[in-house]
Amino acid sequence: MEKKLIADTAKYLGAAKVKVTADKNGKVLVEAGGEKTSGFVCGILTLVRSQNTSLEGSTPLQKCLTLDWLTYFATHLFHCSTHEALNSCLQHIDRELLSRTYLCCHRLTVADIVLFMALHPFITNWSFMQKEQYMNISRWCSSMQNDVVLKKTYKPIKFSRTCLYEGALCH
Amino acid sequence: MKLVTVKQDPDGLKVLIAAAISGNPVTVIENKNITSGAILEVTEGNTVVHLHANSAVLYLLNNLGNKVVEELIQWEASELKPVLLPYLVSVASGREDKALRSNLQQLLRDLCDCNHINAQEGNASSIVLFSSLLPLLSEPCSRSLLEEYPLLSSLIQRLQEIKEFKDSVAVWYENGITLKPWIQQRAVPYCQTASTMSLLKLSSTSPGSPVDQAKPARASITAKQLASAESSWLEPLKYYSSKLRGKSPVLPVVGENNVMITSALPYVNNVPHLGNIIGCVLSGDCFARFCRLRGDNVLYVCGTDEYGTATETKAIAEGLTPQQICDKYHAIHSKVYEWFNITFDYFGRTTTEAQTNICHDIFWDLHKNGLISQDSVQQLYCGKCERFLADRFVEGTCPHLGCGYEDARGDQCDGCGKLINAVELSHPRCKLCSNPPSIKSSNHLFLDLPKAEEDLSNWLSSTSNEWSSNAKVIAETWVRDGLKSRCITRDLKWGTPVPLDGFKEKVFYVWFDAPIGYISITASYTNEWEKWWKNPDQVKYYEFMAKDNVPFHSVVFPSMLLGTKRNWTKVSNLMATEYLNYEDGKFSKSRGVGVFGDQAIDTGIPSDIFRFYLLYLRPEAHDTAFSWIDLQTKNNSELLNNLGNFVHRALSFVLKFFGGIVPEANPKEADYQVMASINLELEAYIADLSANRQRDGLRCILSITRIGNQYIQEQEPYKLIKPDRSTEDKERGATVTAVAANIVALVGIILDPYMPDTAKQIRTYFNNPPILEHLPSAFTCFLPSGHKIQEPKPLITQLNDETVKKLSEQFSGQPAMPKREADPNEIVKLEAQITEQGNKVRQLKSSGTAGKDVIATEVAMLISLKGQLAAMKGEEPAPAGKEKKKKSNDVKKTVQNTDAPQKPAEGTPVDQAEVERLQTLVTEQANHVRELKGNPASSKEAIATEVAKLLALKQQLATAQGIDPTTLNAKDKKKKKK
């Protein structure tokens, strides 16, 4: 999963000549511009720093938050063995998105890009009830999918503006 | 900055050291629910962000961008931790896991091989590694492991010499380094080999209904929770069996949890609708049942509120005496609540001697303490009926600017919803005879609330913390705006008489004596009522109501009790709901919109389903709406597919595979996992119901059955017990079946506050063991192996589209009122009167000499007679409009009358011709009214009559167009005024 997402992110950033390899334990190695970086978090950060520094965040806090999210993805979100585990990750993300536009406050960062690419295949299959259950993720997703670059690759997902399921929020 | 952490967790230590080095002070907040060890809360601008320990350290030390540091930190989180934490868990339990030990050795070797660690002293990565590895020193076996790597142990030693490290460690591990306090709180770390992507394939192959997919997450379970699930299962439940049970009357007992519950007294003049039911009695019952399960000593009383103007008007409309009306409706109310399984200890009424006595006692106390004052009040007096026209006995034009609604009532305008002082009405008319009343002054008694204000606000601030938030806000607003004296007497006949000389022909205003009804109804239940009502130290008193009743219960009633200076039991928990709407609008008896108690009985749907759905929708934070389609969905998905299905499957296994005998269970970790997640839900259920978050409590039950379904799905006991399986598998199958049956038993207990009949049914399947009458604190083995069960029958019936469609049409506002029995003689008599009056009117009209106002009076009389007849026949008195329309045709002589009543059933296409015809009529009539109003010579009565005609026409037009007539009326008016 990490390998694919790094490759997709590289494509998104327009980074040329990026080689991503993974060993048998799933540990990834990124080679870009002759520089080798191991691990998902550092791999993504290297790509961002070489291609589009603004996507790492502007303040030190935002940058740390980007790293925090990437770590969270690599240690939690990407390794769910059950739907329950995935749901509890989603609940966490949904809660964090409650009071902000993007994962790192009000600025688009690479963490959003990665999350969008990771969740898109799932959200596409969500019922409206699930979309309502993860209302903040849905709101975030519906604004993310209008990103000029993401738009080209990812099929638009429909969201309902009105609440259809009374009480779905309780869970 | 705030550090939220579990004491002694190494992640907390990381942040602490980093904070010390960077000189940023952090406040430590302990929170056992943090499963990720530590979270640093940082505020930037006005957003609060949460950083996990590693990124927090990077942030505090500003080491970001240093690739070597970042890689080491990443390694710690994604490689080291997933091995280190399970290893430490095994060490803490005293059984070191050798496989994990060798994995860890490999990792630490890698770490030593990397050249960077020595050069990093005092920066982010050294802090992270130091804190992570430090717990290895706690036990001899893990310490020996660390000592295999001199490079690492010397690094740790050196770091420990640095002041900031040393100080922080001393603070964090006051009594030496230990594992137990924190390691059990940790969520099990992720599985490196699992990939979330594989779930995508899973979900696409398993069909699963949308509800299954939306199931709540089984929260991650900590080792501690797992251990406590195991011990609760093994230990038999100790339940508190009270000897007080079943004793009547219920009285408070010292040392018991004495709970008195009342729900707002339903007003007697109408059948309660579903909104009334959920607002007070059903919410109260759900709580009362929960308290009884919990073993509390519970008294739940309620009754009908029978005095007041509305009873009198209703009595006149139905041609009965007020007492007859009360008797009739009290019986209807009792029947409805009985059907809904409301477990009142006593359901009384306010027209009793006890009511009068207690009301008088309270009044004299207040009088003695100087809280009663006198004042003269200007009131409308109808000379013809010889009575003062209180509140609803008078109608007129709304005096509020921009409204001008013609049919405003004496206390409130239905057009704009504002409150009205009856004397302010323009063009007032008596509701009984339509004559204009005159203004007369009359002496009245007032409750001097400002004098009680100080006591009240002291009391409020000490009690209102546990109230529902809307109740608290409403009470606070009232007190903040300053209390005013309130008139407590009325010039009526139907009420509690006022005992003071000079006022003896008056009665108390319903709002003075209605809350006293709670006391008097208790007094009718037991002579020892004072044990409940003058015992605030030992009784917890809960009141349930809708938000409109809050001011009287939170301000007026407590002020009265405080004003007596006696030790009354006052409300300790006031639980108010918002409103329940019906489909898109409001419940309306007069328009036949919505389901009323007696009609719910006739639907054929069991009361449990109504209880379930109403409690599921309970308007706790905002208004909610009853919808038939939604009821169907909830019934078929939540109840049938989830709850009903689980109960039936689990019990069928016991019956089919084990001959109806619960088999022996030997649970393993997977089973304890399930029990632990059930315990979490059960804890939430108890917490929710104790705080009257009844919606949430219900969702906990549904989560438990969902977990149960999933458990069966995953374990597949029906495969395990097949004859060709190994003995081990068969034992496993028996365990799963037994655990599932026990989950059903739990559901049979905790479902009782919501669906008592269903819960009872489930307990019957188990032959009603006494253990199932008590709320357990944790999931346990309710049914020992060998316990016999009965054959289960389907619990829930599916609701099909056809039924739901039929019901939603039936209650959508068509006058399909069931006819009530009426005395045929009375009908004949009334009909004769109507014919006579009709002839009189016709004569008057044709004579040409009679004045307009004379005709109008006679016409009004005729209409009132017809209204009575209609009411007696069980119809709505609306057909008066028909009469008016006919008259308007007579007057105009321009348009031909049509024979059929113009009320097309909803759903039938709108008759365009009819709409146009009515529109012309409305325009003409409106012009006529304007002419009359513009002409100073025309009398008020004449205008009123013509306006009434106009209104009737508009209503017909609205019905013909398929629009809700009331909303249209109000809107129309407003538009005109602008």
Q: Token digits for B228?
A: 């406590």
Task: Note whether A129 contacts B200, CB cutoff 8 Å.
Answer: no
CA quadruple B271, B276, B278, B279: dihedral sign: negative
Average pLDDT over residues B674-703: 94
Of B55, B82, B213, the CB nearest to A71: B55
pLDDT in tens, B89-141: 888 877 788 888 888 888 888 888 776 666 566 788 888 888 999 999 888 88
Residues in B touching A33 (Cβ below 8 Å): none
d(CA B125, CA B123): 6
**Nearest chain A residue to B54, by CA:** A68
Q: Token digits for A6?
A: 């790094």
> Which of B33, B188, B190, B222 to mutate against chain A (most A CBs within 10 Å)?
B190
Chains A, B: CB pairs < 8 Å: 149
Of B52, B64, B616, the CB nearest to A60: B64
B394-397, strands of its sheet edge to edge: B408-409, B394-397, B426-430
Lowest mean pLDDT among B38-42, B121-125, B332-336, B365-369: B121-125
> How high is the pLDDT of residue B877?
46
Flag whether pLDDT at B86 surpasses 60.
Answer: yes
Flag whether pLDDT at B965 surpasses 50.
Answer: no
Higher-confidence residue of B830 and B912: namely B830
Higher-confidence residue of B407 and B901: namely B407
d(CA A150, CA B970): 51
> How high is the pLDDT of residue B218?
54
Residues in chain B: 978
Lowest mean pLDDT among A46-50, A165-169, B698-702: A165-169
Picking from B79, B168, B181, B87, the residue whose alpha carbon sits closest to that of residue B127 is B168
Q: For B760-769, which contacts have Cβ atoms below 8 Å and span 24 or more sequence positions? A: B761/B795, B762/B647, B762/B795, B764/B790, B765/B651, B765/B789, B765/B790, B765/B791, B765/B792, B766/B790
Flag whether pLDDT at A168 surpasses 80.
Answer: no
d(CA B831, CA B829): 5
Task: Give chain B's mean pLDDT.
Answer: 83
Name the phi and psi angles at B89, rounded to 5: -60, -45
Domain boundaries, chain A: 1-51, 53-171
Task: Note whether A85 contacts B220, CB cutoff 8 Å.
Answer: yes
Flag whether pLDDT at B864 surpasses 60.
Answer: yes
Task: Note whether B196 contacts A78, CB cutoff 8 Å.
Answer: yes
Residues in B touching A100 (Cβ below 8 Å): 47
Lowest mean pLDDT among B373-382, B517-526, B875-884: B875-884
Collapsed DSSP state (helix, strand, coil) of residue B96? coil
Flag whether pLDDT at B927 surpasses 60.
Answer: yes
Lowest mean pLDDT among B465-469, B884-888, B916-920, B956-960: B884-888
d(CA B886, CA B877): 16
Banded model confidence at residue B220, pLDDT cuts 50, 70, 90:
low
Task: Note whether A83 contacts B202, CB cutoff 8 Å.
Answer: yes
Task: Note whether B217 contacts A63, CB cutoff 8 Å.
Answer: no
Gap from B65 CA to chain A (nearest CA, Å): 9
Q: Which amino acid is at B852?
A: K
Picking from B576, B553, B387, the residue whose alpha carbon sits closest to that of residue B467 is B576
Task: Note whether B42 contacts A46, CB cutoff 8 Å.
Answer: no
Of B74, B82, B625, the CB nearest to A41: B74
d(CA B809, CA B612): 22
Gap from A79 CA to chain B (nearest CA, Å): 5
d(CA B278, CA B546): 9
The position carrying tokens 């059950």 is A82
Residues in B touching A167 (Cβ below 8 Å): 616-617, 695, 699
Lowest mean pLDDT among A85-89, B598-602, B939-943: B939-943
Of A39, A84, A99, the CB nearest to B71: A39
Average pLDDT over residues B303-327: 87
Residues in B touching A41 (Cβ below 8 Å): 70, 74, 78
Banded model confidence at residue B287, pLDDT cuts 50, 70, 90:
very high
> Which of B22, B58, B67, B74 to mutate against chain A (most A CBs within 10 Å)?
B74
> How high is the pLDDT of residue B820?
45
pLDDT in tens, B233-257: 988 766 555 545 667 788 998 888 9
Q: Token digits for B793?
A: 């029958």
Task: Note whether B192 contacts A38, CB cutoff 8 Å.
Answer: no
Task: Note whether A130 contacts B214, CB cutoff 8 Å.
Answer: yes
Q: What is the ipTM of this complex?
A: 0.91
d(CA B866, CA B329): 23
In chain A, the percentage of residues whose pLDDT exceeds 90 is 29
Of A72, A74, A79, the CB nearest to B191: A79
> If one looks up domain A53-171 in CATH, what number appears?
1.20.1050.10
Task: Note whether B616 contacts A60, CB cutoff 8 Å.
Answer: no
> How high is the pLDDT of residue B704?
94
Banded model confidence at residue B308, pLDDT cuts 50, 70, 90:
confident
- List b or e across A112-145, with b for residues whose CB sees 16 or more CB atoms inside 10 angstroms: bbbbbbbbbebbeebebebbbbbbebbbbbbebb
- Counting beta carbons within 10 angstroms of the beta carbon of residue A25, is it exposed (0 to 12), middle (13 to 18) or buried (19 or more)? exposed
Higher-confidence residue of B497 and B969: namely B497
d(CA B738, CA B722): 16
Higher-confidence residue of B409 and B503: namely B503
Residues in A touching B79 (Cβ below 8 Å): 27
Flag whether pLDDT at B320 surpasses 50.
Answer: yes
Flag whether pLDDT at B907 surpasses 60.
Answer: no
Task: Note whether B203 contacts A125, CB cutoff 8 Å.
Answer: yes
> How high is the pLDDT of residue B689?
95
Task: Note whether A71 contacts B190, CB cutoff 8 Å.
Answer: no
Identify whether the C-beta of residue B34 lies closer than 8 Å to the C-beta of residue B28. no
Of A59, A75, A86, the CB nearest to B77: A75
Collapsed DSSP state (helix, strand, coil) of residue B27? strand
The position carrying tokens 């509020």 is B400
Residues in B touching A127 (Cβ below 8 Å): 210, 213-214
pLDDT in tens, A59-116: 889 999 999 999 999 988 988 877 778 888 999 999 989 888 899 888 899 999 999 9
Task: Note whether B189 contacts A65, CB cutoff 8 Å.
Answer: no
> 3-state SS of B810-840?
HCECCCCCCCCCCCHHHHHHHHHHHHHHHHH
Picking from A74, A48, A76, A81, the residue whose alpha carbon sits closest to that of residue A63 is A48
Gap from B467 CA to chain A (nearest CA, Å): 21
Higher-confidence residue of B896 and B116: namely B116
d(CA B184, CA B179): 8
Task: Note whether A72 contacts B219, CB cutoff 8 Å.
Answer: no
Residues in A touching B81 (Cβ below 8 Å): 75
- Classify residue B897 by its DSSP letter: P
Residues in A touching B192 (Cβ below 8 Å): 25-26, 79
Q: Token digits for B650?
A: 């689990």
Q: Token digits for B862?
A: 């005729």
